Amino acid sequence: MHKVKKSETIFGIARKYGITVSDLIKANPEMNDPGYELKKGDYIFIPRVKTTVTAKTGNTNIKVAKASSNSVKVGVLLPLHNVDGDGRRMLEYYRGMLMACEDLKKEGISIDINAYNLPIDGDVYQTLSMSGLSKCNVIFGPLYTKQVKPIAEFAKENGAKLVIPFSINGNDVASNSSIFQVYQSPEYFYNEVIKHFLYRFSNYHVVVIDCNDRTSDKGVFTFGLRKQLEERNISCSVTNLNSSDEMFAKSFSAIKPNMVILNTGRSPELNDVLERLDVLTGEHPSLAVSLFGYTEWLMYVKYNQDKFFKYDTYIPTAGYYNSYSTKVKTLENRYMRWFNSSMMDYLPRFALTGYDHGMFFLRGIYNNGKKFNGSSVDKNAVQTPLHFTKLGSGGYQNSGFMFVHYNRNNTISLINF
């Protein structure tokens, strides 16, 4: 990293480090943005060029350094470009990982990264033939399902761990012992959620509200949960959002605390349910009513937070962006200083995901080498805690997730599993 001084220019910085202007711009893609200006105090990347080879992927040439023998050797195979949303999101993820490398360096951990732009139409086999990848301890990627199998086979052949960070189709993790799959399919995620729901809320009366959303994909949760409730003789009733006030009220228990579940994650239906609950609890103030929601509800917090507090709401999620966290604010400020831009407004934040993945895997591999299996619970995650479970003779599936609990006293608790 180079901290820009007053009056420095891109040409002057490139000359200082013995690289070309093109090399410098490729290491800092934001320099291609219209109106970009080099400002005093900015941090920019200086590509390492001593003892280098040139890795070519499509039209992208990236200089990569020869790895030292005592470092963790990392490969990144993601669309790292500014062409579309996929590229910009993965670029932010990669920047977060670089921030993790900077913090790991302070712990005495050396990291050598070979990063390659692998777009959706990229030549996987050409990329895998590039010098440096066969020596990697861990590879992050790909983003696209069709690229998984050849990269997974390459990783296994070369003794590397493959971290698949984002959503894909297929189940290669079940048969390839090199894979660490961070993404949880809806079936896997909700199966885990149901197990913890049954343990935590076994003394509740469950009220499932049919919201008449024929496009909903939440049946994988509500059907599975109702089946388990029936098998365990846990009381449950089903009502409809359009039911009369009398029929709606009869679905609730006056003795047990009630846990309300919608069969949709959409905002309009949630708002309609909240209005009906306001009427119900207004007429029956002794009723104990809680809500159990979906990860999408975290996008509605700025509109519904007060109601989430009022109804003691639990939201299951694999990652939680806590804007009140001091560590999150510190990383956001660092990101702004380093890259002269804010993190994109996504939930979760891609840079924070990259940071968490970098800290978890690179520190773990440095400390445990090939024995690293990700089984220890990640207690230091900023946004996306990880915890892996081995799948038979296959690879490792992330089973880490949490309940975000909006308490009635207007505080937020995170219950990690």
pLDDT in tens, 171-182: 999 999 999 999
What is the C-alpha to C-alpha distance for residues 172 and 153, in angstroms, rounded to an integer?
Answer: 10
Question: How far lies 180's CA from each of 115, 162, 183, 223, 281, in Å?
Answer: 19, 6, 9, 29, 46
> Minimal CA–CA distance to 384: which of 362, 415, 351, 352?
352
HEC profile for 135-203?
HCCEEECCCCHHHHHHHHHHHHHCCCEEEECCCCCCCHHHCCCCEEECCCCHHHHHHHHHHHHHHHCCC
Lookup result for tokens 């005093």? 40
Residue intervals in the chain for CATH 3.40.50.2300? 55-184+327-400, 187-317
pTM (2 decimals)? 0.79
Given pLDDT bands bounded at 50, 70 and 90, which one contains residue 59?
very low
What's the whole-number mean pLDDT along residues 25-31? Answer: 82
Given pLDDT bands bounded at 50, 70 and 90, which one contains residue 47?
confident
The type of residue at 415 is I
What's the whole-number mean pLDDT along residues 5-28? Answer: 85
Taking the CB of residue 132, how many other CB atoms lie within 10 A of it?
Answer: 21
> For residue range 61-117, what is the model confidence (pLDDT) as tens digits?
333 334 445 789 999 999 999 889 999 999 999 999 999 999 999 999 999 999 999
- What per-residue confidence (pLDDT) applies to 172? 94
pLDDT of 324 above 80? yes
What's the whole-number mean pLDDT along residues 303-322? Answer: 96
Cα three-residue angle 334-339-342, rounded to 5 degrees:
70
What is the C-alpha to C-alpha distance for residues 4 and 337, in angstroms, rounded to an integer?
Answer: 11
Q: What tokens were used for 239? A: 């009502």
Question: How far lies 336's CA from each of 38, 41, 175, 404, 406, in Å?
Answer: 14, 11, 41, 28, 30
- What per-residue confidence (pLDDT) applies to 378? 82
Q: What tokens were used for 112? A: 């050598």
Q: 55-184+327-400 is classed in which CATH architecture?
A: 3-Layer(aba) Sandwich (3.40)
Residue 354: phi, psi to the nearest 5?
-60, -40
Q: Are 150 and 157 in contact (CB under 8 A)?
A: no
Q: What is the mean pLDDT of the chain?
A: 90
Q: What tokens were used for 232? A: 């365990």
What is the C-alpha to C-alpha distance for residues 318 and 167, in angstroms, rounded to an integer?
Answer: 12
> Minimal CA–CA distance to 190: which of 227, 217, 226, 224?
224
What is the C-alpha to C-alpha distance for residues 89 and 86, in angstroms, rounded to an integer?
Answer: 5
* Omega prior to 348 cis, within 30 of 0: yes
Residue intervals in the chain for CATH 3.10.350.10? 1-47
Q: What tokens were used for 193? A: 């959620």
Lookup result for tokens 């913090």? 103
- What per-residue confidence (pLDDT) applies to 204? 97
Q: What tokens were used for 55? A: 């890795």
- What per-residue confidence (pLDDT) applies to 49? 58
Homologous superfamily (CATH) of 1-47 is LysM domain (3.10.350.10)
Homologous superfamily (CATH) of 187-317 is Response regulator (3.40.50.2300)
Beta-strand pair 60-65/52-57: antiparallel
